[in-house]
Amino acid sequence: ASAFAPNANAGLRYASLSTSYSSSSPSALDMSFKVFIDGEAGTTGLQVRDRLSKRDDIEVISPPSDLRKDNDTRKKFINEADAVILCLPDEASIEAASWVEADNDRTVLIDASTAFRVDETWTYGFPELSKEQRKELETSKRISNPGCYPTGFVGLTRPLVEAGILPEGTPLTVNAISGYSGGGKGLMSIFEDSDDHEPWGGYGYSLQHKHIPEMAKYSKLGKEPIFQPQIAAFDQGMVVSVPLHYAWLKEGTTGKDMHDALSKYYEDSTFISVMPAGENAVKDAGLLERGAFLRPDTLKNTNKMELFIFFNDDAGQAVLCARLDNLGKGASGAAVQNLNIALGVDETTGL
């Protein structure tokens, strides 16, 4: 889809297949890192490439188009790169990760699929989870990029679990709506090249969505939520919502307590912001469209995430909401953020 296609050559330099690299640090001569995007023609790959093309500290190495699916060529580029971003289906990512040579302790792999997200030998690429998580990412050679929906869910619930407000094992539901770009090029084509598409669609009715395991693990709830994902007729953006009954929470908890816990948790975050507490404050800040609607697409093409808490203390109910770009903080933006951390450059570079 043209909406996501970068300028094909802007800022990109291509390396030959015979080029050899000896260090993960940029040389004093060219001061650039070599990055290979395996799967650069896909939705996430295109966005990663577009973000990197504007940088002078990154050299994107890319095989000729007729060799992009050639396994021998891909293996060579994987082992010549300082960092590789895998934008592939799960099985293809598993295969590609196995091609790192035994004596290659230099190349950083960042996987955008679900293949390694709950694998203990890979580092989960959500640096805002904790200071320890960020430190681990600084030295990790195997990083699993979080899913878009889990980014919202974990971002909302982990701070409340850590604060002792939300008990481990609480059986939650998560309701989320995303732009159709989350379905990749196939779904994008249906929505952009045809009028024969749904205005809205719920899915995941097997209750086995592949994002559920990481939600349970990295929220620290240890309990898989009931997940109700949906897509609608807009291209990018999402809102992830988690309803709460106060009866499930630490006794005496108020909406302000939850807002304070979220605010403290992310007080030093560059990309995650906690918005004003409650509907009236959010409305006064002009954050509700027409004074009523929480739009899902306002953070399009950014690596930002906004967290909201709407609550009614008298009724003992609250709804937590995360707003983000499913292709930004939910995919390509997070991949570039993790790349920056792993390469030791400023986290915000290119973002």
- The answer to whether 75 and 69 are in contact (CB under 8 A) is no
- Quote the Cα angle for 318-324-328, to 5°: 160
DSSP assignment of 16-76 equals: -TT-----SSPPTTT--EEEEEETTTSHHHHHHHHHHHT-SSEEE----GGGTT-HHHHHH
Strand pairing report for 58-60 and 33-38? parallel
Give per-residue burial for 195-212: e unless 16+ CB within 10 Å, then b.
eeeeeeeeebeeeebebb
Task: Kindly state the greatest CA–CA separation across the chain.
Answer: 69
Query: CA nearest 44: which of 283, 245, 327, 310?
Result: 327
Q: Distance between CA atoms of 268 and 259, rounded to whole angstroms? A: 15
- Which residue is listed with tokens 């912001």? 273
Characterise 222 by phi-psi region: left (phi > 0), alpha (psi -120 to 50), beta (else).
left
Phi and psi torsions of 32, nearest 5°:
-135, 150
200: which residues sit within 8 A by CB, 6+ positions away?
177, 230, 231, 232, 233
DSSP 266: T
- The answer to whether 165 and 253 are in contact (CB under 8 A) is yes
Phi and psi torsions of 334, nearest 5°:
-65, -40
**Cβ atoms < 10 Å from Cβ of 29:** 6
Distance from the Cα of residue 207 to its chain's centroid: 22
Q: Is 148 a catalytic residue?
A: yes
Q: Which of 46, 115, 129, 148 is catalytic?
A: 148
Q: How far apart are the first and last CA of the chain?
A: 22
Query: CA nearest 224: which of 187, 271, 174, 259?
Result: 174
Q: Looking at the annotation, which residues are catalytic?
A: 148
